[in-house]
Amino acid sequence: MQHFEALAESVKERLFHVRPEALDRAADPGLLAVALGATLYLPATRATLVRDIRKQARSGCISTVVCLEDSVPDNELDFAEDNLLQALKELDALDGCDGLPLIFIRCRTPEQLLSVGRRAGAALSVVYGFVLPKFENESGRGRAFLDTLNVLNEESGRTLEAGGQPLRAMPIIEAITTTQLETRARALADNLAVITEFRELVLSVRIGATDMSSAFGLRRSRDLTIYDVQAVASIIGDVVNIFGRPELGWVISGAVWEHFGTAERVLRPQLRSTPFEAANEVELRQRILMENLDGLIREIELDQANGLLGKTVIHPSHVPVVHSMMVVSHEEYLDALDIVGNPGGGAMASSYGNKMNESKPHGAWAVRTLLRARAFGVARQGVGFVELLEASMR
């Protein structure tokens, strides 16, 4: 797996100062957590599940979640499980793990997780991990999920002690106790304690903004970002406060972007025309506006400003947008190198001569930026988001 692998060699040479690293399932989990990028959700009821997963990999998506939870009607759950298990067997027979994205399964309960894992048999080998919805530990649900995953790893010979690649977990912070103000701080602290205990299993932490919004009867429009919904934005801030401290090392993903297609605009577009005119890509800007992707671009910028990396998405058109926004700019890269290269502290002018870099206060940012550079690459000087997106959307 490698981000932007499908681009022609000449295009990669033109766009990248440092290219993304090639990764595989055995790569360092800390790097893989950053490299997930746009994690595309698919309901397990899809008739074309095998084709869609393989197509995603060819189009640059390296992580996908097959959902057995809220996207599946209760009366179709048995069919969804059978459909998923058949798809896993077909993928195992066709590809093994070669050429596939990192596949995660989102289960409703610990009991379903164990049942699906056991029923998958040898085909479980194509699954990288499980997404754990409505994660909270006051009721013991969080620990039950992780204990169950440990059992499945032992039964399938995928423990670290056995030299295997364990099935990983991605808890979703979205339960009502982590949402409501009066219980939030305690519930988040409990969640941190239990996932720290199971650190070798947990890949990253995800934010479930749809359930958070539901707790207040809210839903953001395509013209707004999740940060405009103040009740939810405050929860995201608290999640970052608890899980996002550099010494803890957790990667937190951005909230799902659930809009696609065209619709009537209420607010003005959120995308300046100047970068597109400079790159001679006016038509690309128009396409982004027609597909309402400018809101997604704005939200990714705010995600990164708030310490979130990657994004849950529900449409293939979102994938190149997320990945283009994750590429480290040439300026960011030089800043990060300057900062980590001066561990003794002190302040200095940036290499671009437009800001002050302080080694100690900016050190954690620099380390995170260099990790993102390994996963998504570094753009050449003068190459911006527009050029990257234009190449990715061809």
Residues 6 or more apart from 178 whose CB is under 8 A from it?
135, 136, 184, 187, 188, 191, 235, 239
On whether both 124 and 176 belong to a single domain, the answer is: yes
On whether both 276 and 380 belong to a single domain, the answer is: no
Q: Which of 292, 326, 360 is the last residue of a domain?
A: 326
| 130 pLDDT above the threshold of 60 | yes
287 pLDDT band, cuts 50/70/90, is low
Report the half-sphere exposure of 155 (CA within 13 A, side-chain side): 15
pLDDT in tens, 310-366: 999 998 889 999 999 999 999 999 999 999 988 788 888 888 888 888 888 899 999
348, 351, 354, 359 alpha-carbon torsion, rounded to 10°: -30
What was the pLDDT predicted at 102?
96
Tokens representing 119 are 């029923």
On whether both 169 and 143 belong to a single domain, the answer is: yes
On whether both 251 and 275 belong to a single domain, the answer is: yes
Q: How many domains does the chain have?
A: 2
Q: Which of 280, 310, 326 is the last residue of a domain?
A: 326
On whether both 12 and 129 belong to a single domain, the answer is: no
3-state secondary structure of 281: coil
On whether both 345 and 304 belong to a single domain, the answer is: no
On whether both 93 and 64 belong to a single domain, the answer is: yes
On whether both 8 and 95 belong to a single domain, the answer is: no
| Residue linked to tokens 């059978």 | 82
3-state secondary structure of 229: coil
CA-angle at 322, arms to 321 and 323, nearest 5°: 95
Which residue range is the domain that position 390 belongs to?
Answer: 1-21+328-394
**CATH code, domain with 252:** 3.20.20.60
Q: Which of 326, 348, 377 is the last residue of a domain?
A: 326
| 282 pLDDT above the threshold of 80 | no
On whether both 17 and 48 belong to a single domain, the answer is: no
On whether both 269 and 307 belong to a single domain, the answer is: yes
Question: What is the average per-residue pLDDT within 54-74?
Answer: 92
Check residues 354 and 261 and name the one with the higher pLDDT: 354
On whether both 201 and 96 belong to a single domain, the answer is: yes
On whether both 12 and 113 belong to a single domain, the answer is: no
Percentage of residues of the chain with pLDDT beyond 90: 73
137 pLDDT band, cuts 50/70/90, is very high
